[in-house]
A and B are shown apart, each in its own frame.
Chain A
Amino acid sequence: GAGVSQSPRYKVAKRGQDVALRCDPISGHVSLFWYQQALGQGPEFLTYFQNEAQLDKSGLPSDRFFAERPEGSVSTLKIQRTQQEDSAVYLCASSLGSRGRQPQHFGDGTRLSIL
């Protein structure tokens, strides 16, 4: 597709359930990023892939969060044993090159609500 695609757009889960969020980046984009955005806040970095390699996962808040990009294209962010504080919008972005220099292209996000 022309842009970054994220699914589902909305996800409601009960506390303790596992969730999986999908990101389909722009074709040919080497870099892929996940961000967490709380209401009224800017995006907070979670993790970064260059092709299939996860180069930085320093922003993942706990070991309940796991991301993968096995073939260097589609990525999945998984949250295990969800907690209420995980409720947020999860944004995915992709770019042509390195994280600092290249502008990032964002998807519309997945709004996650934990009951």
Chain B
Amino acid sequence: AQSVTQPDIHITVSEGASLELRCNYSYGATPYLFWYVQSPGQGLQLLLKYFSGDTLVQGIKGFEAEFKRSQSSFNLRKPSVHWSDAAEYFCAVGTNNNDMRFGAGTRLTVKP
């Protein structure tokens, strides 16, 4: 079965600084990759997804992610973080075998 690792439990960045959240997966074929964001007391909201084609995908709220097959990674990036981006971020991996797994999440704190 596939697995997802988010190596960073907690990241703190200053407002206006750039951000990169790491996601590594383990799966034998090309996966379907997703990033979600969760604010306190709310459900998960889809930021972006990768199925095939261009390995750099754009999402909502100014986020982007790049699929790197050689590194089994799908890192999330944002050039300039806003205070409202403080939240929990989850990477997820889906497969053609009708399965989807979520990472344990990375909590983002934004310093003023």
Q: Which residues of A contact B (CB under 8 A)?
A: 4, 35, 40-45, 55-56, 91, 93, 98-109
* Residues of chain B in range 28-71 having any CB-CB distance to chain A below 8 Å: 32, 34, 36, 41-46, 49, 51
- Using CB atoms, name the residue of chain B closest to A42: B102
Chain B residues, Cβ within 8 Å of A99: 94, 98-100
- Measured CB to CB, the closest approach of chain A to B8, in angstroms, equals 13
A98 to B100, CA, bound (A): 10
Given that A41-B104, A99-B100, A100-B100 are known contacts, is A105 also in contact with B46, CB under 8 Å in the complex? yes
**At the interface, is chain A mostly helix, strand, loop or mixed?**
loop
Q: Is the CB of B94 within 8 A of A100?
A: yes
Residues of B within 8 A of A108 (CB): 41-43
A44 to chain B, nearest CB (A): 8
Minimal Cβ-Cβ distance residue in A for B45: A106
Q: How far is A104 from B105 in the complex, measured between Cα atoms in Å?
A: 17
